[in-house]
Structure 1
Amino acid sequence: MSNNNQPVELTDITVSLPGLTTEDRDASIGLLLDCAKRGENYGKQRPPSICKVSRVLRDHNESSFIPQLVSIGPIHREDPRLKEFECLKESYLDDLLKRCEDYTLEKTLETCLLNVGTLIPQVRESYAGMIQDYSDVELAMMMVMDGCFILEFCFKHDEEHLYLPNKMQNSRIAMDLMLLENQVPFFVLQALFDCSMGNMPFTLRDVLDTYLAPYIQLFRSDLLPEKISTTDVDSNSTHDHVLGYLHTRYQLVVAKSSNREKRKEKTVYHSIAELDRSGMKLKPHQEGDWSMTIKFQSPLFRFLPWFWSKPTLLMPTLVIDDFTELILRNFIAYEQSFPQGRYYFTSYAYAMDMLINTQEDIAKLVQSKVLVNTLASNQEAADMIHKICKNISITDFYYAKEFKQADKYYNSFWPKNKAWLRRVYFFDSWKAIALYYSIIVFFLTVVQTYYTIKGK
C-alpha cells in the first residue's frame, strides 16, 4: 500500500495535471514563488494606519464610520454630500495662514507644501494602496488643505465666529474628525503645525487636548480625577492620526499594568441585575489611574456576617448620548485594525455587554449613578450596547480578574441563595406576598403547636 503522506515530486505534477508541459510547469512555479515573496514582504509590513473599516464591523451601523459634513483625506473625498464644505476649508486655510505673522501668506504656504511634499512616500504607506489615483502634487495639496482645516477648526474655538450656522455643526465636525476613515497622518499634522505655529508656546498635543478632546469624553469628568493630561503623553511617542492620539490618551496608564489576560477560556459573567440581587453594591469609580477602570472591591471587614460585609463593583460613569456609539465603534475599529494592538475599548465594550442584558440592568446602573442615559429609553441604551459588540473579536480582556472575582462571590453560598430567592419569589409582588403569608402561617402554627403540647 502506498504512503499518502509522501511528498509529491515536482516531476509528478505532470501526472496530476495532464497536458501541462515542462515550460508551463516552470512558469507556474515561478509565478507562485513571486507570490510567496510578495507575501513575505507584505507580512513584514505594518498594517496601514488609515483604512476602510471592514464590512464585518460596519454592517451593523455604517453611518458611524461615514462623515456627515466634512471629508478629511482621500477615502470620502468624492462623496457629493460633502462638497459644499470644501469652500469652508478654503476659508479656514486663509485664516490659518494669516495667523503666521513672521512670513507672508505665500511664503508660509510654500513652506507647508514643500515640507508635506517630502512626506508623500510615508503618506502613501499610511493609506496602503487606496490613493493610486492621486499624483504626488494632488496628494500634497490635499494633505495641506485638510490638515490646515483641522488646525484652524481647533484654533477658532477661542473666537466667537466659527463660520458655522450653529453650534451643533461644531459637534458634528468634531465627530467627523475622529472617524477612522476620515484621517490624515499625524506626522502631516505635526509638519503643518510646525510650519504655521512653530514659534507658539504650546504644542500640537496641547491644541488637540484643549479643543478637540472635550467633544469625545465618554465619562463624567466631574467624577473622574484629572489623571490624563498632555504631560502624561510621551513627547517622543508617535501617533497614527488624531483618532490614534485620542486613543492613546485613554490607554496611557493601563499600559503599564499587567491586568490583561489572554482569553484562554470563556469568561463567566452575570448581569447587573443578578449581581444586585446577590447583594453586590454598585458605585461610581472616583479614584484610579485609568478612566475605564472597573474594580471589584472586597468588603473591609470580611469576618462580619454576610449581610454586613458586601462587596462593591466600582465602575466609571459612562455618559450615553447620540454620539457614544460612534465614538466607541471607531475606537474599536481602530483597535481591530491592528492584530498586535491593545484592546482597551474592545474590552470595555465587552464588559458592558456582559453586564447589560435588559433595560433593568440599565436602570440599575442609572440608579447607582454609574451611567447617565440621555437616549429616549433604557431599552434603546441596552440595544446600543449589544449591537456594538457583534462580530468583534478580542484576545486580551482587561477585566478578566474582576469578572472572576464577581463570579466567585456570586456563587458563594449566601449570595447565590439570596439571588435565587429574589429572582423566584420577590421579582413578582404576588409571589412575595404569598411567601410572607406562608412564613407567618408557619410561625403561628409552630407557636400554636408549642403551647398545645405545653398545656398537656
Structure 2
Amino acid sequence: MEIQDIEDPPMILAKKLKAASGEPKGYIQATIFRVPDNIRTTSADSFEPKIVSLGPYHHGKLRFRAFDERIKLSYANNFFRRIVGKDANLEQHVIERFRDLAQGIFEKFKNLEIASRSAYSEEISMTSAEFLEMMMLDCVFMAEFLLLQRNIHGTEMEGYLAGSFPLIKLIYRDCIRQIHLNLSPTSTLTADILELETSGHLLHLFHSSLVAGLQEKEWRLYTVDFPSFPNAEMLQAMRIQFTNRTHGGNFLDITFDENRRSMGIPQLVINDDNISLLRNLVAFEQQCHWVRKYISTYVWFMDCLINTDKDVAVLRRHKIIVSRLRSDEEVAHIFNKLRRTDALVVDFDLDNFYLAEVITHVGSYCRNKSNRLWALWNFSWLRQNYFKNRWVTIGVTAVVFFNLLTLVQTVYAILSYAKQ
C-alpha cells in the first residue's frame, strides 16, 4: 500500500462534512427517546406496549407481530374501503381510486420521512420503504380507530383525509381529553388547540395540553428545605383544609390560600394505567430537556405530601385521591418511588417552578409559631389517646374538672385548719 492511499484525519472529516451537506439545514429537535435504564428499572412494565406497538422501537417484535398482521391490516383495509366505496358495479373504478388514494398518502409520508426520522433520538435502522410502510400502517390504524370512536363516515371522513378537518382536533377532543378525564374526573383541559399543533407524538401532545397556560404561574424558587416539607398529615394538624379543586385547570393546577388555610388539589385517580402514564410523562421530561418539568414538579409535590398510608388516608377522605389499588400503603409506596430512579432523583427546574407560589406560601404558613403549636397539640400523646372521640373528650374534661375541684377543696380545708 502506498503512502498516498492512506488518508489523513482532516481529509476523512472533510469527506464526512461533504456527505452531510445534503441534509436539511433546519434543526429538528428529537422528542421520542428510549427510556434510560436508570428510569426503566424502577418499573419496566410501565414503558412496554401492552397490546399494540407504534413506531420503530418495538416494530417487528414477535409478541406484536400477530396483532400487526391481524388487527392493523384489518383496520387499514376498513379505512380505505369505507372511503373508496363498496359498489361491486364499479369494481375497477374502486381499485383505481384505492390505488390513487394509497399512493397519495404514501407520497405525503415520503415528504415527511426526514422530519419523522429526526424526531427519534437515535438512528432508525430501517430502509426507506420499510419505514414509510410502518408509518403509513400505524397512522392509518390510529386514524381508523379514532374515527370509529366518533362514528364518522362518508364525506366527513374524506374531509379528514384531505386535511380540511385537521385530525389533531379529533385526537385532542376524543383521545387526549378522555385520557385526562380518566386521570382526573373533576378537572378539565383548557388548552388552545392551536398551541398543540407542534407536538411530535401522542405523549408530547398530552404533555403540551397539560402545561399550556401554566407558564404564568412560573416563579423562581429561591429557598426551600426539600427534606422537611410537611406531609399531608402534618399540614392537616396545622389546620390546613384540603379541598378537591373542581374549578380551574387540569390536575396540575394546585392552589393554596394562606388566609383561608385552604389547599386546593384536583382529584387524581390512582390505578395501574394512570401510574404508567405519569411514569412515561416524567421520563419524557427527563429526556426532552427543552420542555418544562411540570409533571416532575407535580410528582415531587405529591411525594412530599405522601410519606405514609396516613397521608394517603387524609387525601382520600377529601376526595383528592381515588385509589383503585389494594391499600393506602400501596399508594404511598407508588408515590415514594414515582420520582426516583436507580441513579438520582429526577430533576426539575427551580428557575421555572410552577408551584413556587404554593411552596412559598405554605412555608410562610408553617413558620408561624401559632400554627406550629397547633401541630404540636394535634400530635401530642394526650390528643392522640384521649381527645379523638367527642364523648371521651367530654368525659376526660369532666374528670379533670372534678379533680381540680377536689384539689381546691382539699387546699382550702388545709389552710382553714392551719389558721385555727
- For the aligned pair, the TM-score class normalised by the smaller chain equals 0.7 to 0.9
Query: Following TM superposition, by how much is the alpha carbon of 1:237 offset from its aligned partner in structure 2, in angstroms?
Result: 3.9
Letter in 1 for 2:218: N
What TM-score do the two structures reach when normalised by structure 2? 0.79
Query: Partners of 1:375 and 1:404 in 2: how far apart?
Result: 33
2:354 maps to what in 1? Answer: 398
2:169 maps to what in 1? Answer: 206
* Maintained 8 Å contact 1:272/1:364: yes
SS in 2 for 1:296: strand
Q: Percent identical across equivalent pairs?
A: 22
Deviation string for 1:175-207 (max 9, x for gaps)?
xxxxxxxxxxxxxxxxxx998724577431221
SS in 1 for 2:248: coil
Alignment of 1:416-427 (within 5 A): 416-426=372-382
Matched, 1:145 2:137: yes
1:79 maps to what in 2? Answer: 61
Query: Following TM superposition, by how much is the alpha carbon of 1:34 offset from its aligned partner in structure 2, in angstroms?
Result: 11
2:34 maps to what in 1? Answer: 52
Query: Partners of 1:414 and 1:446 in 2: how far apart?
Result: 31
Deviation string for 1:138-161 (max 9, x for gaps)?
11111000111111111222459x
Query: Following TM superposition, by how much is the alpha carbon of 1:219 offset from its aligned partner in structure 2, in angstroms?
Result: 4.2
* Maintained 8 Å contact 2:28/2:119: no
1:443 maps to what in 2? Answer: 404
What TM-score do the two structures reach when normalised by structure 1? 0.73
1:261 maps to what in 2? Answer: 220
Query: Partners of 2:406 and 2:135 in 1: how far apart?
Result: 86
Letter in 2 for 1:82: F
* Maintained 8 Å contact 1:294/1:399: yes
Deviation string for 1:97-138 (max 9, x for gaps)?
123349822111110111101211112211243312x11111
As a proportion of its length, which structure holds more helix?
Answer: 2
* Maintained 8 Å contact 1:373/1:381: yes
SS in 2 for 1:261: coil
Query: Partners of 2:167 and 2:406 in 1: how far apart?
Result: 79
* Maintained 8 Å contact 1:47/1:337: no
SS in 2 for 1:157: helix
SS in 1 for 2:136: helix
| Aligned with 1:94 (options 67, 77, 85) | 77
2:276 maps to what in 1? Answer: 326
Query: Following TM superposition, by how much is the alpha carbon of 1:331 offset from its aligned partner in structure 2, in angstroms?
Result: 1.0
* Maintained 8 Å contact 1:355/1:361: yes
* Maintained 8 Å contact 2:183/2:274: no
1:117 maps to what in 2? Answer: 110
SS in 1 for 2:119: helix
Query: Following TM superposition, by how much is the alpha carbon of 1:403 offset from its aligned partner in structure 2, in angstroms?
Result: 2.0
Query: Partners of 2:166 and 2:257 in 1: how far apart?
Result: 39
Query: Following TM superposition, by how much is the alpha carbon of 1:78 offset from its aligned partner in structure 2, in angstroms?
Result: 2.9
Q: 1:235 to 1:389 in 2, by over 3 A?
A: closer
Letter in 2 for 1:220: S
Query: Following TM superposition, by how much is the alpha carbon of 1:233 offset from its aligned partner in structure 2, in angstroms?
Result: 2.0
Query: Any unmatched runs of 5+ in structure 2?
Result: 1-6, 17-22, 86-93
Q: 1:372 to 1:34 in 2, by over 3 A?
A: farther
Query: Partners of 2:411 and 2:259 in 1: how far apart?
Result: 41
Query: Partners of 1:99 and 1:364 in 2: how far apart?
Result: 53
Structure 1 window deviating more from structure 2 (57-66 vs 95-104): it is: 95-104
Structure 1 window deviating more from structure 2 (364-373 vs 212-221): it is: 212-221
Query: Partners of 2:65 and 2:159 in 1: how far apart?
Result: 26
1:385 maps to what in 2? Answer: 335
Cα RMSD between the aligned structures? 3.5
Query: Partners of 1:33 and 1:358 in 2: how far apart?
Result: 61
Query: Partners of 2:200 and 2:231 in 1: how far apart?
Result: 36
Alignment of 1:88-237 (within 5 A): 88-101=71-84, 104-132=97-125, 134-158=126-150, 197-199=160-162, 202-213=165-176, 214-217=178-181, 219-221=183-185, 223-224=186-187, 226-228=188-190, 232-234=192-194, 237=197
SS in 2 for 1:97: helix
Query: Following TM superposition, by how much is the alpha carbon of 1:216 offset from its aligned partner in structure 2, in angstroms?
Result: 4.5
Query: Following TM superposition, by how much is the alpha carbon of 1:453 offset from its aligned partner in structure 2, in angstroms?
Result: 8.0
Alignment of 1:197-346 (within 5 A): 197-199=160-162, 202-213=165-176, 214-217=178-181, 219-221=183-185, 223-224=186-187, 226-228=188-190, 232-234=192-194, 237-255=197-215, 257-262=216-221, 266-267=225-226, 268-299=228-259, 311-346=261-296
Letter in 1 for 2:362: A
Q: 1:280 to 1:31 in 2, by over 3 A?
A: farther
Matched, 1:429 2:385: yes
Q: 1:128 to 1:34 in 2, by over 3 A?
A: farther
Query: Partners of 1:31 and 1:263 in 2: how far apart?
Result: 50
Query: Partners of 1:69 and 1:78 in 2: how far apart?
Result: 13
Query: Partners of 1:33 and 1:199 in 2: how far apart?
Result: 44
* Maintained 8 Å contact 1:272/1:355: yes
Query: Any unmatched runs of 5+ in structure 1?
Result: 1-25, 36-40, 161-192, 301-310
* Maintained 8 Å contact 2:113/2:132: yes
Deviation string for 1:204-244 (max 9, x for gaps)?
122112332213535433x33x4525xx1216841111111
* Maintained 8 Å contact 1:99/1:196: no
Query: Following TM superposition, by how much is the alpha carbon of 1:273 offset from its aligned partner in structure 2, in angstroms?
Result: 0.4
Query: Partners of 2:354 and 2:195 in 1: how far apart?
Result: 26
Matched, 1:372 2:322: yes
SS in 2 for 1:313: strand
